[in-house]
């Protein structure tokens, strides 16, 4: 529906036009929010018929679809860009050169939000930690809103007048247009190469992520990852997490003489690792991050520890699927970058290594410009078979072969998950096979073969179920 041209409508209604670029869930939330605030709103999207177009409020009377309307953007008082659209898009870049403000829905949210914000980003584990902190708050009796890059658009949380705390997962795409977020507590959980096709290089990616610390009242730092450390005032309250014994007041791990691992705060043992339903060293770091964020947000420790023991993790994130023909199958389809896959290999590999077991790893999809040779040390230590699928399968194999890959690691080109499952049965039936677990952790985007990582993970789980049934 296009009633008037952009210029005609401006003449008709006056200045102050708010232009929403991109009509996904976040764009729709922006349109709804701004029209309720009485703003004059226009929406433009590159799709000829966006799926959500019929859900736009009637007050949006400028709807330019089929291309991002450069002329419309030049008329804007402010542009609200959806995270999936690059700032380098020609029409957007031209508007920025004209000094037209470009912000995200998160900027609108933080300007309107009157309750404390827990802000969480990182290359990996954002959704797990965000969900866990949200559950900790809810279990402690806090009226909490959880959203952002996970599930519910942030602006939709403002519809709850009784909200006491907002827990936001934030992507680098959302953060690159946010200024002075002002979170009660903020963290970058970890940093590894991701979205370099969008940010250009690690510096650009790092700069986008670290915008989360602007105006933060306290921070949580991963001691194992120097790239997570913010440039903030020394007197700003902070807690750190890590895999070693912590300093007083901070979080870490303590191992007793019998080899039992405990989550710890300073010298105090909080919880035995075997009491957690989420497994792997990476999940011990996730648990610490949630505890540290919760502490700085004012949540009671005993309640948080109770929540931790009940938490089973999220779908498609190192999720145990089933055991078939003696092999444990794990779905980590959410592992869409090499950092996530490193964590999955190391976290699960350490579980099977004491039993002389190895992993069979399924890699591949759209590589996003990453250097897959960085996986080699982890593969050499914990993996005996690598199966490649998807668009960049051959390139990924080339990256691994160009590094010091162990001769004991076998590589197989499979292209599809169906073919991969046929190969799994071929390479694991030998009595000499060390494989005890199959891990789908592709380190790649899924859009070459699937609608998203969830569809890829569901297909993997279906193939596991079918295999278990056929045995």
The three-state secondary structure class of 181 is coil
**Residue ranges in 148-259 assigned as alpha helix (H):** 172-175, 196-199, 202-209
Give the CA distances from residue 460 to residues 321, 332, 360, 415, 457, in Å, rounded to whole numbers and listed in that order.
9, 10, 14, 14, 5
The answer to whether the CB of 282 falls within 8 A of the CB of 317 is no
Among 126, 199, 209, 279, the one annotated catalytic: 126
Give the CA distances from residue 440 to residues 147, 307, 388, 464, in Å, rounded to whole numbers and listed in that order.
27, 28, 10, 11
Scanning the structure block, which residue is given the tokens 């404390």? 116
The answer to whether the CB of 438 falls within 8 A of the CB of 358 is no
Nearest to 31 by CA among 68, 67, 58, 2: 58
Buried b vs exposed e over 91-114: b needs ≥16 C-beta within 10 Å? bbeebeeeebebbbbbbbbbeebe
Token couple for 139: 């279990």
Task: Give the H/E segment covering residue 19.
Answer: strand 18-21
Among 195, 316, 399, 412, the one annotated catalytic: 195
The answer to whether the CB of 330 falls within 8 A of the CB of 320 is yes
Among 149, 283, 286, 337, the one annotated catalytic: 149
The answer to whether the CB of 248 falls within 8 A of the CB of 213 is no
Cα dihedral 321, 322, 326, 332, rounded to 10, equals 0
381 carries an active-site annotation:
no
12 carries an active-site annotation:
no
Q: Provide the CB-side half-sphere exposure for 428 (13 A, CA).
A: 25
Q: Can you tell me the distance from the alpha carbon of 340 to that of 209, in angstroms, rounded to the nearest whole number?
A: 16
Token couple for 140: 């402690």
Contacts of 305 (CB under 8 A, 6+ apart): 270, 271, 291
Nearest to 69 by CA among 31, 107, 95, 39: 95
Residues with catalytic annotation?
Answer: 126, 149, 195
């Amino acid at each position: 529906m296009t009633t008037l041209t952009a210029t005609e409508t401006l003449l008709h209604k006056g200045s102050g036009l708010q232009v929403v670029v991109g009509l996904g869930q976040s764009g729709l939330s922006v349109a709804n929010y701004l029209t309720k605030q009485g703003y004059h709103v226009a929406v433009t999207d590159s799709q000829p018929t966006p799926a959500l177009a019929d859900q736009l409020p009637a007050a949006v009377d400028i709807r330019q679809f089929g291309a991002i309307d450069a002329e419309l953007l030049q008329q804007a008082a402010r542009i609200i860009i959806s995270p999936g659209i690059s700032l380098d898009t020609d029409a957007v870049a031209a508007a920025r050169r004209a000094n037209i403000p470009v912000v995200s829905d998160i900027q609108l949210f933080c300007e309107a939000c009157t309750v404390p914000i827990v802000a969480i980003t990182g290359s990996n584990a954002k959704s797990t930690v965000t969900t866990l902190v949200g559950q900790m708050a809810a279990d402690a009796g806090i009226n909490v809103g959880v959203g952002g890059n996970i599930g519910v658009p942030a602006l939709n949380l403002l519809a709850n007048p009784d909200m006491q705390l907002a827990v936001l997962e934030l992507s680098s795409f959302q953060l690159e247009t946010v200024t002075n977020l002002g979170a009660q507590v903020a963290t970058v959980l970890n940093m590894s190469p991701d979205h370099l096709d969008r940010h250009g290089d690690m510096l650009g990616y790092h700069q986008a992520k670290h915008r989360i610390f602007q105006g933060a009242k306290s921070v949580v730092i991963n001691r194992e990852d120097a790239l997570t450390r913010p440039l903030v005032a020394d007197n700003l309250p902070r807690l750190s997490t890590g895999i070693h014994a912590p300093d007083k007041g901070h979080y870490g791990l303590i191992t007793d003489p019998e080899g039992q691992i405990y989550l710890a705060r300073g010298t105090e043992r909080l919880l035995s690792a075997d009491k957690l339903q989420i497994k792997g060293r990476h999940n011990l770091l996730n648990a610490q991050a949630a505890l540290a964020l919760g502490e700085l947000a004012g949540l009671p420790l005993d309640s948080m520890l109770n929540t931790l023991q009940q938490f089973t993790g999220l779908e498609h994130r190192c999720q145990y699927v089933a055991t078939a023909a003696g092999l444990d199958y794990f779905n980590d389809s959410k592992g869409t970058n090499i950092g996530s896959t490193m964590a999955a290999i190391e976290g699960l590999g350490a579980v099977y290594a004491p039993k002389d077991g190895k992993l069979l790893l399924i890699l591949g999809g759209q590589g996003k410009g990453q250097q897959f040779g960085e996986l080699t040390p982890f593969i050499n230590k914990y993996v005996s078979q690598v199966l490649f699928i998807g668009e960049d399968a051959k390139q990924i194999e080339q990256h691994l072969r160009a590094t010091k890959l162990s001769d004991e690691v076998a590589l197989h080109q499979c292209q599809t998950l169906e073919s991969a499952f046929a190969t799994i049965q071929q390479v694991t039936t030998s009595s000499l096979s060390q494989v005890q677990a199959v891990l789908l952790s592709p380190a790649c985007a899924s859009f070459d073969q699937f609608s998203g990582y969830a569809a890829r993970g569901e297909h993997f789980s279906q193939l596991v179920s079918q295999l278990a049934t056929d045995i």
